[in-house]
Structure formats: structure tokens, C-alpha cells
Amino acid sequence: MTPKVLLLRRNGFGLLLLSLLALARAAAADDFGVTYQPPPGWSPVPVEDSRGFSPPGLPPGTFMLLIVSHADTLAAQTFRAWYDHQLAIADLQIVERGEVIEGSAHGLQFAVTTRMAQDPQAGRIQVLFYGISSGRQAALAVMMTNSGALSQQHMPVVRAFFDSLAFGAAPAAPETPAAPPVVAAAPIPPAALGEGGPQGMFYLVRVTGMQQLQVEARIFLPGDRILRFLPAHGGDQADLAACATTPDQCGTYQLDGAAMHIRWDNGAAQQLAFARTEKGFTLDDDEFKPAHPTSAAALTGAWSTINGSRIRFDGDGGYEWGTAGVANAKPAGSYELNGLTLSLRHADGGVETHTLFATGDRGEAICLDGDWYVRE
């Protein structure tokens, strides 16, 4: 089988184009094998045996490419082995390596990592390798740019492109069964600060302006994993799939006395001063406290934010949620508490889940999806 080679070529303007040469074909020449939704407004870029796109309006001296390869057959190898091989043969001068994150979404396995490369002409290049597998087939998508601003600006489009990837007609099943998919969510343990360090979710309340508060979270999982975002749909499960598209929000940490060393999945490194406090710990003087669940009895009553959002919980399991001056902003219904997860059942039967935990020193406040509510 002919190996895949990633080659960087400079064009007449000194920018970089990615070519995939001598690709190993798993299907006929006219059968690409991977379906996708082209990024809206992006221009096609000629790439041999692959599909490439570039966004419009690139500033001088910058580039950004989004490329997906044709489908490959796994044969006897596992998806992870195939993916690691693609990383190993990438013709790039790698200077930083992020951790490989595995998971599953839309019935497909995925593996993603970020590499930082150095090029004499283009400078520092961020490369995001996103592989997918159906168990019998595999494909690789690559995002490359030498501009952090472009990466941040177009990341929603990149995420949507990755999310649209799928396989066409699959070849016959291989003799060796595929590896089972990796679960893309992990349970968040109860917040505790033990001898080995923090576990679970801790929060920080930051004052950002006149009567403006911002709640931030740090989630510590087994295996020394750290996340710095609030769970989107309930506070008892960490969405590891989000790490694939936001590698700067997920990483690994090591506690070394009075210092916490963090390596984020995008390759960035941090060293923060760590100190235990009466109620939790500090990181560079930012105080984090454990996110503890509340009870239905303690939740009973009305709560509001400084922006006018208001929610009221009845003692019989009912709720009303709205905004001052806005009638029926959210439907009323019944609620249920399960750990750090608040489930709201609307009167029409719809159900939505939120992250909720007690804050304040005397239970006088709650955090609901990152918003600070105080008891009226």
C-alpha cells in the first residue's frame, strides 16, 4: 500500500498550500467515499485526491485551509492505529503536541488533536487533525492556519464542517471487528478537595463590571483531566465531544505542591499558583469553591438576576421562569433535581435540562447555567 504523504508547497505569494500526494486508494478513483457540507462562502482549493476549501477575505500574510481526505479501509488495523499513522507521516516541523481526544458522535468514532508547527515563511501554524471512522472506514479532515484570529473567527464553520462528515456506500466488513466506540461523555464526580487535589466541579464568581458577575467553572475528572467550561445540559455529565472543537478549553493537569501545571489540548501550557483555602482553593489568587447540589426545599422561592431574569420554584415541584417586563418568556411547568442537573418539564410536555448548584456562603444564591441568581 502506498503511504500517504502530507506536503507543504509555497506558492508565488509565499503562502502555504496543502497537497495530499500518493494517496492510498480504498475505493475506485471516482468514488470519494466521504460526504460533507461545503463551508458556506468558502472557495474550493485544488487538492489531489482530496477536497479543500479556504475562507474569503484573508488578511495579507495569512492562510487558512480546510481539507478532507477520501475514505480509507481499515482492514485489520484499528481506527486509533490508523489515526496515529496519519499524524506520524505528516510532513510538518512539529513544535508542540496536544493530547489525542477520542469519542463518538452521530454514530461515528472520532479522534482529534492539535499540533503546532513552525515554518520559516508562514511562521507558527496551528494544525487540527480530525479523524472519523465507521468501524470499517476512516477519513481525515485537517484545518491549518497561521493566524489565531482566523482560527477563532472561523471555528464555528470548522465545527459545522466536521459535524457534517459522513461516509457514503461502505465496503464489505473486514474480518477483524472494529474497536468499540469511546464514550464522548464522562460523569462528573462530587466536588471534593483531597490529598491528591481537586475532583469534580468548582466555580469562581468574577466581578466584570458595575453590578455584573460572571461565573466560571473548572471541572476535574479522573485521569488528571481538566475542563474550563460549564456543562451545557446538566451538571453531572462532562461533554468530552466539545474538546474536539474547543481544545483550548480541555487539558491535563499536574499538581506539584504550590503549583498546578496545565497542558491544554491545543498545546498551550500554564503554570498557576495553587493554594488551599477554608472553602476550596485559589489559582493565581482566583478563589474557586466546590459546586454542591441544592435541595428542593432550599430552592423553594423566587430568584432573580441583576438583568431581570426571574425564576420561582414552588414547594410542590412547580416552577415559573421569565424576565421582568416580558410576559411568558419561558413556559411554566414542573421541575426535578438530580445532583447538579435541573430538569424542567413544560406544560406542553417538552423537557430541558440545565446546570444548577448552590452558591454563596449561606445558600442565598444559586448558579443556573452560569448566571448568578439571588433570593428575593
For 295-321, how does the pLDDT look when each residue is reduced to its tens digit (9 = 90+)? 889 999 999 988 788 899 998 889 988
Asked if 128 and 143 touch (Cβ cutoff 8 Å), the reply is: yes
Separation in Å, CA 307 to CA 21, 206, 212, 324, 372: 56, 16, 9, 9, 10
10 & 155 share domain:
yes
Separation in Å, CA 96 to CA 91, 93, 116, 126, 242: 14, 9, 5, 10, 21
- Structural domain including 308 reads 296-375
Domain boundary at 114, 139, 167, which?
167
Asked if 33 and 70 touch (Cβ cutoff 8 Å), the reply is: yes
What's the full length of the chain, in residues?
A: 376
Residue bearing cell 472543537: 245
252 & 331 share domain:
no
pTM above threshold 0.85: no
The CA-CA-CA angle for residues 292, 297, 303, to 5°, reads 75
**CATH number of the CATH domain containing 83:** 3.40.1000.10
Split at pLDDT 50, 70, 90, the class of 211 is low
Look at residue 177 and tell me if it is in a domain: no
Q: Where are the alpha helices (DSSP H) in the chain?
A: 79-88, 148-164, 296-299
Backbone angles phi, psi at 148, to 5 degrees: -65, -35
Question: Which conformational region is residue 58 in: left (phi greater than 0), alpha (psi within -120 to 50 degrees), or beta?
Answer: beta
125 & 49 share domain:
yes
236 & 217 share domain:
yes
Look at residue 107 and tell me if it is in a domain: yes
152 & 241 share domain:
no
Query: Considering only CA atoms, which of 2, 13, 16, 15 is closest in space to residue 142?
Result: 16
Domain boundary at 235, 257, 290, which?
290
62 & 193 share domain:
no
For the segment 93-149, what is each residue's pLDDT rounded down to a tens digit? 888 888 999 998 888 999 999 999 888 777 889 999 999 999 889 999 999 999 989
**CATH number of the CATH domain containing 230:** 2.40.128
**CATH number of the CATH domain containing 314:** 2.40.128.290
158 & 18 share domain:
yes
Find the farthest-apart pair of alpha carbons in the chain and give their distance in angstroms, rounded: 72
215 & 263 share domain:
yes
- DSSP secondary structure string for all residues of 316-363: TSEEEEEETTEEEEEEEEEEEEETTEEEEEETTS-EEEEEEEEESSSS
Please give the tally of structural domains in the chain: 3
Domain boundary at 290, 321, 340, which?
290
